Structure 1
């Protein structure tokens, strides 16, 4: 305890009776103060709500112009009209081209990476073969042994590599845009022409088995009596979907007993789920691949000569089993086509053997649509940009002249179809094609160009045309982007002005500021109303919201500027302290660094350096303290803060761009998504140490009394022990440790029950304890002999915990968040979050011993900014990166069996941004920690908390504005989708999450704490 704290405690001891009577003396004004307190809370909350609205509007407008979209044409191909506009010839067994097959069985093995299907090189001496190698040999062997019946090729997906977007490309044959990824979790029915539309128009019977994502895209397309869909998001379940597909697909192939059908889409999910749950390097992956191998072998034995069997992966997976990005492992899937009759071939003798790697002879996934459509005698969908796969239209190895002519014929049909699409799209979007592309198109239209020459010209034309469309759909709406950036910067400027000009009575200034905001909003509405009435389109509405936001921002800036003259501390604020300069250095250096892809990739390492720099500064400052206890405590906690930062750096999950100079330690190995057995010790150690650590900080100010002992010493500890038990049970399920005793279903039931018990401790018990508990103070009464002649004893009153009445009371909220988040994190994530909690307490002591708490300095930036840096740092230490593939989807199934809204997204949010959520909840502690009860009551209480929240929000708002600006500026950069886009999206989500946390938790929790203190001490 510092000298100041000791004096406060002694004061409370010597004048204990006065403290109590002081409260009673002021009770007639309690109602007035309660009303003032409530009004101040409402005003501050409204200000932060307004900032959140500004952020939402700015982000919405920027993303509208930044996340790419393409125009979807409503035209459809028709069986009656050829793509060149001439009437289609009368073909009895097809539309534009004679069909090769009457039926099709399309097997999608989700996340089937190409190297899962080809022989692996012999492992090096002493190394073990990979589990994903050589367990699915049937595809490769058949393609070699029967080249006229089967072929195997790399199947390259366009990013984003999420299932729903891949299904759109596989059925429509068009290129995706990044904005489509947002619909992966709320799929809407596709509106463009696709192969299922053509099948339905031709009266074909379509059957679907497996992943229910298909029904989100194509509602009403499938035969209800034969279709069986299964939940697709439960990545813990490896077998239900696959077993269901197997159960229903083989009866369909029994020609004597099966009902009529024309095409079957069967979507297996086990390989994908094994990757998400365990990673590709796990025995479960080998088991699923062997199962698929057996299924495919059985299928080839049952299909007839009129049926084509198509097997493919919709995408691949990275080394941890995740996908969503554009790394080679994520985009390199598999395509295998089979017929029990000789229907396929190769262009040259060198093509007979399947490619050894995905770099050789790959085909694009958009090529499947035109290929399958022509093989089944269907029109090629209008929006298709894929080219027919050559192996499906030549029958000799190598191809003869006749084969070349047949291939040229189908290429010409697709050429005409794409030319028609290009003409319609050019008309809608007013653009012209490149001269070189037009020249190739003219050459293709010549009668003399036939056979191999036509195929070569078509290949060149197609490659350039697709490249043209990729560039065309990379056009950004600069106007919306500029307006969005302007709104975000205006909100940031207003926030900075308010934070800089805030005084101890700033609540009084909020009323005129809000009034000016309302006036500015009204002016914006009046100015935009004529355009909105005359042209009520989406663009006009968005322009109106932008105008409203700018008007509000201008009005609030004007209101602040109009009050500058009477601010007494303005001159002192023009001379920032060294700590303020350090806080701005941390923020600005990070913001500037996001212009570099290398800086963004290594952000976790940069944060380690910045937190270490703060530790060094706090150590030097502590050594200069005059008070001996303050000097000792400051040095101790500074060194401890630095050591904990280094200790947390042990937990690391490397992103692809950091390899090979980075070694992941978060999971059991580089290629695993499960924890190592030794890591299961971590939750048990955390359950023992973390409550003791918090208890030690409480005892430093005699605050471990009242509700603190019950909640921290009993409930919090019990919740952490249950968390350790949950992860042991989960590991037993993953490793089949108790396979002979308990089934996987029983273990899952046990683990879900334990998880729900933890949430029962964290939410109902934890938050109700915080809301209803009294301050963590106790009163000791001791009768001392009176110095008077009468000899009567006089009572001596001691108030324990008085020096930290605010801080210890508010901190009761933090363990509830720790318990809610830590359950959802794997053991190494729990290790990092426990260190984060410890560092928060160390930071509070550093701020106190160096006189840097918000209530004691004029520029309260350093504490809240370091808290924000801690949240960002431990985001990486809890196994996350600024890439989509690092999202830990398993968290959605910790207390649940299936996806449930809104709980599943909330669990993902807690898992992904838990450190930022925890640090945002702790922001008021930079005001309240070791803040004793003052005879002036709660004067300045809301101003101090508001300043702390604004300083914390300034960090995130600056980082988000920087990532937005740099992403917009570098929109043509090669690493946009791999580096800058994901970091912008992450910064945007974090900003909105922090906005919500500050409004609901920080401000709401501070009001509960203030009301509790006022009730006891009469203020």
Structure 2
């Protein structure tokens, strides 16, 4: 086995252990719930299965009545029911279900977008206000027919999860977040399934996510889906929706309608937010367009038609969503019809009866808000309206499902957990209208029946879920009983009331006294709140237990990661060679065999014995085998090392510890490196440190840079150490001015963002000056970077063509960034007073010109494509071409026909790079890292161009100039020493992490730049788009990984050059060899060292790189296991840990890819040497 092959296998084994550990941990950490594909059936009566009791024990009350009394009680309830056949004494006219439904979903319709603010307000009015006046106008005109609610989502606020909740009434789990971008059909019962049973005339138009989630519902001839991920396109989807929606509505106005259900999903508001943010002139235009559409829809609404207008989620101040900030959770829900929807409105004629119902509804909403921990004050402070106002109470999105089921006369979907909105539940009664009259009792009893139907559906679902078995922990009958107490109590109270004489008198049409009416009203209210308490407790119970972790799987994953860290540290200190790598692989193989046998035994024999609630429930046979193989191989390696360490320790104690202690102290830079990595990993235990990790990383950069400067100054002088460190510190400080703030960082966060930059503006001259300064810096970068890198890199012959191509591609990138800044400048800077119509018309005129369309096509499509192809071509030259150049150069040198000028030129480059004035001669027999150096450099520069292409104007230049910063890191070491190499590599690692924040990213879902998926693309390509988004987010780390080999090669090159100086003397300014014998001995020694471990520094460096990401992954998993019930687990800890998991997978892939390339090049060199020997 060749040296590079053994190293490659070693890293493949390491990556496999990481993958198994993460899989096991994630199976216990990422929450799942079992989807029950059971369809609800219509109830014959709202009192079906009355009374619901605990079958394991008897209750007082209804159960004690006996069979005859129970039959009589049930007969009374049925006689009084407004859902059953009307009696002759009390004819009721319960509103018949709506026959037609129109659903208008305006994606990302944040609640404050629908409010109307007075124009006399002294503060500037954002663009998103006062653009939907129709809703407020109809609320004022007909408050009983127009109901507005704050529509609160459950995180994550991604469209797929919202559509599931809106139509199934179920709660999302954290693992569902990823499925927003790979939607699959919903298997649970949902509202559209019941609508389909009622009618086949269902039309849909808009976001194609609906057709992915509910494919069995929609007829292709009545479905008009549009691609939803083109976030740069504000109009195509909305225009297409209107082209199908409005003709259907026009047909219905002539009584020739062919539809019963219309569903229209508009995306323009959401896309405008993603591209421009909410407070933008384009948002104003888009909301006004939606208002115009609603006016057309309202014009055809009749008494049999229900209009539902809603948003699926809100958006942040930057226009993103996916998290759980108040701005993202609060959307709008508006119900409208030409017939009354409520009897509790606040209209101009406020009777005592209407006041009673309005107060009752307010009490219900307040009770639910308390139970669900809605923070009205936080919403008010963040969104600027009175969130506690009774005019628009807060309802959960899952409450729409039972509400629409009631209004449309449909069964409630089986898995629903929402409670019906009480405002729309009432029955018309033709009798007395006195405040305490029987009309109030009839409506209250109807409300109780409606909520009992709701409670019966939830109760049935819970019992079926408990019986389903797998993933139903927390839902055993014993665990559900305490929650059922409210339901049992409501059933008992209903039985007692029905058995009371006064209620029987009312049900029979008798006249009641005021005290009797008041008593019945009070009892019915109490029954309603008991049923409602059961529904709320169920919701809280499910929220808690669907956040139930499999602790056994999590601990197993943590243990495997801990073993990976132990192996990584041991490999780092061990140094390693070809023989050592083979030894590790043999130990891992033997341990894996033992672990495989152990895993099979556990999976077959003892798995069920150790599987208890919350422990190993999600561990299948493959999981046990994976734990056995990964754990066994790691333990096999560590046990071998432990044995050697014990022997060494005994020998050290016997022979004295002086030399051993000195050797340990000689590794001080490596110790400091590990301390720095450990300190950063430990910060993952604190939510505050995670929130302000951008500053933590900046501190780490400064600390390691200062340490290297102090260490270098002692050996090479203050000047050599101070200048590179000063450049790095200044770079870190200046670049720290850019970035993006998390919502939790306010008001202690202020960054320059891409949306702030303007080339011109009617206000904010400082912003314009900063923007032009950035533009001038970009232009200077085009001139300086190719020249600087050509000088500092000093690649041998053939490099001029590379740098010429590099300069051309960089020029195209800068031109594109300037174009983006110019485009952004078309929009006004301020979010304040809406501009005049002339300004908006001027912008519209510019965007419709031929020149604008051509420029947009060039800079948005063709320039990125040219850079993609050119960057890849340069990278291929770097990987393939330079290997051939070096091989031919080596062949010429071996045959004695080398060019002395080239040798001297490389010597000058080495002196420049290493800051030495001593002449250096690079021998013909170059070491392996020197031969790989050109490939590393060209790869780094090519990757920097590719990654910069998907960045925004502020992030792109930071990525492009990153290789120049690397040259300063290389100089932070004493001449001829590689002791500081680990610290230099970790400094480069932290700078890559720093670049993640400065390019405008955070460890939160809303910060993901989805627009990067369309850079250079016209249409959606899921795999290519996913890779572009990944490249945009992880740009800092990707370029850090690409430059890792450069740092190693440059430091090792300087070290070898310094060692050669020991064999030279200075004589009249010419380098002269002391003796030929000494020169031959030195060359023989170096050749022997190269033969033993030619790539040892690179191997150790890549081990350190892997460890730098394994360490925070381990501590992140450990802290999440400990803090799994922390309030901020899902908001802060989980996103950061998932980011680290992706980094660990990414770095493993990068290391394996690098060693694959190195192995191929090494094989090519070996073939070249063999052919030379044959000659």
TMscore range, shorter length = 0.7 to 0.9
- Rounded Cα–Cα distance in structure 2 between residues aligned with 1:795 and 1:311: 79
Q: Determine the structure 1 residue equivalent to 2:968.
A: 842
Q: 1:711 aligns with which of 793, 802, 822?
A: 802
SS where residue 820 of structure 1 aligns? helix
Instruction: After TM superposition, give the deviation of residue 636 of structure 1 in Å.
Output: 1.3
Q: 2:905 aligns with which of 772, 779, 800?
A: 800
SS where residue 220 of structure 2 aligns? coil
1:569-968 equivalence runs, <5 A: 574-575=664-665, 577-626=667-716, 631-669=718-756, 679=771, 682=774, 685-686=777-778, 688-689=780-781, 692-693=784-785, 695-696=787-788, 698-699=790-791, 703=794, 705-712=796-803, 714-731=804-821, 735=826, 736=843, 738-742=846-850, 746-750=854-858, 751-773=860-882, 798-802=903-907, 804=910, 805-806=930-931, 807-847=933-973, 849=974, 856-857=978-979, 860-929=981-1050, 931-932=1052-1053, 935=1083, 936=1086, 938-939=1090-1091, 940-968=1093-1121
Q: Determine the structure 2 residue equivalent to 1:367.
A: 399
Q: Determine the structure 2 residue equivalent to 1:357.
A: 386
- Rounded Cα–Cα distance in structure 1 between residues aligned with 2:120 and 2:999: 33
Q: 1:440 aligns with which of 461, 483, 486?
A: 486
In structure 2, relative to structure 1, the CA distance for the partners of 1:724 and 1:1004 (3 Å cut) is: same
- Rounded Cα–Cα distance in structure 1 between residues aligned with 2:112 and 2:103: 20
- Rounded Cα–Cα distance in structure 1 between residues aligned with 2:158 and 2:781: 41
Partners of 1:106 and 1:311 within 8 A in 2: yes
- Rounded Cα–Cα distance in structure 1 between residues aligned with 2:749 and 2:330: 24
Q: Determine the structure 1 residue equivalent to 2:236.
A: 240
Q: 1:553 aligns with which of 634, 643, 647?
A: 634
Partners of 1:809 and 1:1009 within 8 A in 2: no
In structure 2, relative to structure 1, the CA distance for the partners of 1:573 and 1:70 (3 Å cut) is: farther
- Rounded Cα–Cα distance in structure 1 between residues aligned with 2:1139 and 2:784: 34
Residue 466 (structure 1) aligned with residue 539 (structure 2): yes
Q: Determine the structure 1 residue equivalent to 2:1145.
A: 992
Instruction: After TM superposition, give the deviation of residue 558 of structure 1 in Å.
Output: 3.1
Residue 47 (structure 1) aligned with residue 10 (structure 2): yes
Instruction: After TM superposition, give the deviation of residue 451 of structure 1 in Å.
Output: 3.7
Instruction: After TM superposition, give the deviation of residue 561 of structure 1 in Å.
Output: 4.2
Instruction: After TM superposition, give the deviation of residue 410 of structure 1 in Å.
Output: 1.1
Q: Gaps spanning 5+ residues in structure 1: where?
A: 1-35, 780-793
- Rounded Cα–Cα distance in structure 2 between residues aligned with 1:381 and 1:273: 31
Q: Determine the structure 1 residue equivalent to 2:925.
A: none
Q: 1:969 aligns with which of 1101, 1105, 1122?
A: 1122
Instruction: After TM superposition, give the deviation of residue 991 of structure 1 in Å.
Output: 1.1
Q: Determine the structure 2 residue equivalent to 1:61.
A: 24
- Rounded Cα–Cα distance in structure 1 between residues aligned with 2:902 and 2:108: 70
SS where residue 478 of structure 2 aligns? coil
1:207-286 equivalence runs, <5 A: 207-253=203-249, 254-255=251-252, 256=254, 260-286=258-284
In structure 2, relative to structure 1, the CA distance for the partners of 1:656 and 1:420 (3 Å cut) is: same
- Rounded Cα–Cα distance in structure 1 between residues aligned with 2:322 and 2:113: 19
In structure 2, relative to structure 1, the CA distance for the partners of 1:746 and 1:204 (3 Å cut) is: same
Instruction: After TM superposition, give the deviation of residue 764 of structure 1 in Å.
Output: 2.0
Q: Determine the structure 1 residue equivalent to 2:1074.
A: none
- Rounded Cα–Cα distance in structure 2 between residues aligned with 1:478 and 1:91: 50
C-alpha deviations, 1:373-400, integer Å up to 9, x for none?
A: 1111110011111111122224899994
Instruction: After TM superposition, give the deviation of residue 729 of structure 1 in Å.
Output: 3.6
Larger helix share, 1 or 2: 2
Q: Determine the structure 2 residue equivalent to 1:319.
A: 317
Q: Determine the structure 2 residue equivalent to 1:8.
A: none
- Rounded Cα–Cα distance in structure 1 between residues aligned with 2:586 and 2:121: 74
SS where residue 337 of structure 1 aligns? strand
Partners of 1:43 and 1:510 within 8 A in 2: yes
- Rounded Cα–Cα distance in structure 2 between residues aligned with 1:691 and 1:598: 42
Partners of 2:46 and 2:450 within 8 A in 1: no
- Rounded Cα–Cα distance in structure 2 between residues aligned with 1:680 and 1:894: 24
- Rounded Cα–Cα distance in structure 1 between residues aligned with 2:851 and 2:424: 46
In structure 2, relative to structure 1, the CA distance for the partners of 1:580 and 1:510 (3 Å cut) is: closer
Partners of 1:687 and 1:724 within 8 A in 2: yes
Instruction: After TM superposition, give the deviation of residue 744 of structure 1 in Å.
Output: 6.5
In structure 2, relative to structure 1, the CA distance for the partners of 1:472 and 1:431 (3 Å cut) is: farther
Q: Determine the structure 2 residue equivalent to 1:26.
A: none
Partners of 1:775 and 1:808 within 8 A in 2: no
Q: 2:184 aligns with which of 171, 185, 188?
A: 188
Q: Determine the structure 1 residue equivalent to 2:1080.
A: none
Instruction: After TM superposition, give the deviation of residue 761 of structure 1 in Å.
Output: 1.1
Q: Gaps spanning 5+ residues in structure 2: where?
A: 51-77, 87-93, 346-353, 366-379, 498-519, 609-617, 653-658, 827-842, 890-898, 911-929, 1058-1082
Q: 1:416 aligns with which of 456, 461, 466?
A: 456
In structure 2, relative to structure 1, the CA distance for the partners of 1:439 and 1:92 (3 Å cut) is: closer
Instruction: After TM superposition, give the deviation of residue 633 of structure 1 in Å.
Output: 3.1
- Rounded Cα–Cα distance in structure 1 between residues aligned with 2:808 and 2:121: 48
Instruction: After TM superposition, give the deviation of residue 144 of structure 1 in Å.
Output: 2.4
- Rounded Cα–Cα distance in structure 2 between residues aligned with 1:797 and 1:304: 88
Partners of 1:208 and 1:266 within 8 A in 2: yes
In structure 2, relative to structure 1, the CA distance for the partners of 1:1007 and 1:359 (3 Å cut) is: farther
C-alpha deviations, 1:466-505, integer Å up to 9, x for none?
A: 11221121211001111111111111111111111124xx
- Rounded Cα–Cα distance in structure 2 between residues aligned with 1:913 and 1:651: 16
In structure 2, relative to structure 1, the CA distance for the partners of 1:621 and 1:257 (3 Å cut) is: same
Residue 106 (structure 1) aligned with residue 103 (structure 2): yes
- Rounded Cα–Cα distance in structure 2 between residues aligned with 1:903 and 1:258: 46
SS where residue 885 of structure 1 aligns? helix
Instruction: After TM superposition, give the deviation of residue 215 of structure 1 in Å.
Output: 1.3
In structure 2, relative to structure 1, the CA distance for the partners of 1:339 and 1:680 (3 Å cut) is: farther
C-alpha deviations, 1:131-165, integer Å up to 9, x for none?
A: 11111122222122211111111000000111001
- Rounded Cα–Cα distance in structure 1 between residues aligned with 2:600 and 2:178: 32
Q: Determine the structure 2 residue equivalent to 1:11.
A: none
Instruction: After TM superposition, give the deviation of residue 531 of structure 1 in Å.
Output: 5.8
Partners of 2:4 and 2:1155 within 8 A in 1: no
C-alpha deviations, 1:88-122, integer Å up to 9, x for none?
A: 999899xxx97420111111111100011112366
C-alpha deviations, 1:171-198, integer Å up to 9, x for none?
A: 1101111111121111111111111122
- Rounded Cα–Cα distance in structure 2 between residues aligned with 1:83 and 1:47: 67
Partners of 1:776 and 1:809 within 8 A in 2: no
Q: 1:392 aligns with which of 407, 424, 439?
A: 424
CA RMSD of aligned residues (A): 3.5
Q: Determine the structure 2 residue equivalent to 1:24.
A: none
- Rounded Cα–Cα distance in structure 2 between residues aligned with 1:86 and 1:258: 43
- Rounded Cα–Cα distance in structure 2 between residues aligned with 1:42 and 1:963: 32
Instruction: After TM superposition, give the deviation of residue 598 of structure 1 in Å.
Output: 0.6
Q: TM-score, normalised by structure 1?
A: 0.87
- Rounded Cα–Cα distance in structure 2 between residues aligned with 1:83 and 1:520: 64
In structure 2, relative to structure 1, the CA distance for the partners of 1:359 and 1:971 (3 Å cut) is: farther
In structure 2, relative to structure 1, the CA distance for the partners of 1:834 and 1:59 (3 Å cut) is: same
Q: Determine the structure 2 residue equivalent to 1:978.
A: 1131
Instruction: After TM superposition, give the deviation of residue 236 of structure 1 in Å.
Output: 0.5
In structure 2, relative to structure 1, the CA distance for the partners of 1:796 and 1:834 (3 Å cut) is: closer
Q: How many residues align?
A: 951
SS where residue 68 of structure 1 aligns? coil
In structure 2, relative to structure 1, the CA distance for the partners of 1:797 and 1:662 (3 Å cut) is: closer
Greater Rg, structure 1 or structure 2? 2
- Rounded Cα–Cα distance in structure 1 between residues aligned with 2:482 and 2:129: 44
Partners of 1:91 and 1:98 within 8 A in 2: no
